[in-house]
Structure 1
Amino acid sequence: MKSKILISFFVAGAALCSCEPFSEMNTNPNNPIEVPANLLLPKVCQDAFTRSTDGMYADKMVIQTDGHSEDQFFEWNRGSFDTYNNELLQLEKLREEAVRTNDTVYLPLYKFMRSFHYYELTLRFGDIPYSDAMKGQSEGNYNAKYDTQEEVFAGILNDLTAADEELAASPDADVIEGDIIYGGDKLKWRKLINSFHLKVLLTLSHKATVGGINVQQEFARVAQLPLMESNADNGQLVYLDQEGNRYPQFNAQWSGYYMDKTYVDRMAERQDPRLFLFSLPTTTAAEAGKAVDDFTAYAGGDPTVPYGDNITLVGDGLISQINSRFRTDPTEEPTMLMGYAELQQVLAEAVVRGWIQGDAKQYYENGVRASFEFYETYATEYSQYVTQEDAATYLAGQLVRFDDTLTDEQKIERIIFQKYCVSFYQGGWDPYFENLRTGYPGFAHLAENPIPYRWMYPDTEYRYNTANVEEAITRQFGANNDRTTAQPWWLKE
Structure 2
Amino acid sequence: MPRIPLKYMLLPLGMALSACDKGLEEINRNPNASESVSPEFLLSSVLINTAYDYQREAYWEEPASAGRYITLVRNEDNDKFDWGPRGWDSYYARLSANREMMEIAGTMNQPEYIAVGKVLEAFNFAYITDLYGDIPYSEALLSKNEGIVHPRYDRQQDIYPALLNTLKEANNELSLLSRTVDATADPMYKGDALKWRKLANSLRLRMLLRISKNYAPAFSVMQEILNEPLKYPVFENNEDNAEIGYPGDIGVNSWPGGPLANAFAEFDKRKPSKEIVDALAERDDPRMEVWIAPVDDPNGGRMYMDDYVGVPNAIPAPYDYNGGSPHISRLSPMFNSNSHPMLKASLMTYTELCFILAEAVQAGRVTVAGKTAESLYYEAIRSSMRYYNVEGVADIRDYYNLPGVQYDGTREQLITQKWIALFLKGPEGWFDHRRTGFPQFTLGPLAASAVIPKRFIFPDTERAYNEKQYQQALVQFGEDRAGTLMWYLK
- 1:38 corresponds to which letter in structure 2? E
| Structure 2 SS opposite 1:433 | helix
Matched, 1:323 2:321: no
**Structure 2 residue aligned with 1:464:** 465
**1:389 offset after TM fit, Å?**
4.9
Cα offsets for 1:183-227 (capped at 9, x unmatched): 111111111111111000011121233xxxx11111111223211
| Structure 1 SS opposite 2:233 | coil
Aligned pairs (5 A) from 1:250-261: 250-251=258-259, 252=262, 253=264, 254-261=267-274
Asked whether the equivalents of residues 83 and 117 of structure 1 are also in contact (C-alpha less than 8 Å), the reply is no
- 1:63 corresponds to which letter in structure 2? T
Asked whether the equivalents of residues 279 and 298 of structure 1 are also in contact (C-alpha less than 8 Å), the reply is yes
The verdict on how the C-alpha distance between 1:349 and 1:43 changes in structure 2, with shifts beyond 3 A counting, is same
| Structure 1 SS opposite 2:347 | strand
**1:415 offset after TM fit, Å?**
2.0
**1:172 offset after TM fit, Å?**
4.0
The verdict on how the C-alpha distance between 1:461 and 1:419 changes in structure 2, with shifts beyond 3 A counting, is same
- 1:486 corresponds to which letter in structure 2? T
- Equivalents in 2 of 1:170, 1:141: separation in Å? 33
Which of residues 21, 45, 48 is equivalent to 1:46? 48
Cα offsets for 1:2-34 (capped at 9, x unmatched): xx456474234999xxxxxxxx9x998556572
**1:322 offset after TM fit, Å?**
0.9
| Structure 2 SS opposite 1:10 | helix
**1:242 offset after TM fit, Å?**
3.2
| Structure 2 SS opposite 1:400 | coil
Which of residues 139, 149, 167 is equivalent to 1:132? 139
Cα offsets for 1:67-102 (capped at 9, x unmatched): 3x2221111021212234421122122112211211
**Structure 2 residue aligned with 1:483:** 481
Which of residues 292, 303, 306 is equivalent to 2:313? 303
**Structure 2 residue aligned with 1:165:** 172
Which of residues 352, 355, 360 is equivalent to 2:373? 360
**Structure 2 residue aligned with 1:473:** 474
**Structure number with higher helix proportion:** 2
**Structure 1 residue aligned with 2:400:** 395
Cα offsets for 1:328-352 (capped at 9, x unmatched): 3523422211111111111101101
| Structure 2 SS opposite 1:335 | strand
Cα offsets for 1:306-326 (capped at 9, x unmatched): 2x2433536362210111112
- Equivalents in 2 of 1:282, 1:76: separation in Å? 31
**Structure 2 residue aligned with 1:221:** 224
- Equivalents in 2 of 1:340, 1:391: separation in Å? 24
Which of residues 237, 243, 246 is equivalent to 2:244? 237
- Equivalents in 1 of 2:337, 2:133: separation in Å? 38
Cα offsets for 1:396-448 (capped at 9, x unmatched): 11101114xx4xxx2x2222122211333322x22111111000112222475
Matched, 1:313 2:315: no
Aligned pairs (5 A) from 1:203-222: 203-209=210-216, 214-222=217-225
- 1:451 corresponds to which letter in structure 2? I
| Structure 1 SS opposite 2:78 | coil
Count residues with an aligned counterpart.
450
- Equivalents in 1 of 2:152, 2:396: separation in Å? 50
- 1:219 corresponds to which letter in structure 2? M
The verdict on how the C-alpha distance between 1:364 and 1:141 changes in structure 2, with shifts beyond 3 A counting, is same
| Structure 2 SS opposite 1:313 | helix
For structure 2, list consecutive stretches of 5 or more residues without a partner in the other structure. Answer: 15-19
Aligned pairs (5 A) from 1:310-459: 310-311=319-320, 313=322, 315=324, 317-328=326-337, 330-333=339-342, 334-358=344-368, 359-376=372-389, 385-387=390-392, 389-390=394-395, 393-403=398-408, 406=409, 410=410, 412-427=411-426, 429-445=427-443, 446=445, 449=449, 450-459=451-460
- Equivalents in 1 of 2:469, 2:209: separation in Å? 30
**Structure 2 residue aligned with 1:18:** none
- TM-score, normalised to structure 1, is 0.85
- Equivalents in 2 of 1:256, 1:469: separation in Å? 36
- Equivalents in 1 of 2:238, 2:334: separation in Å? 22
The verdict on how the C-alpha distance between 1:389 and 1:310 changes in structure 2, with shifts beyond 3 A counting, is closer
The verdict on how the C-alpha distance between 1:187 and 1:148 changes in structure 2, with shifts beyond 3 A counting, is same
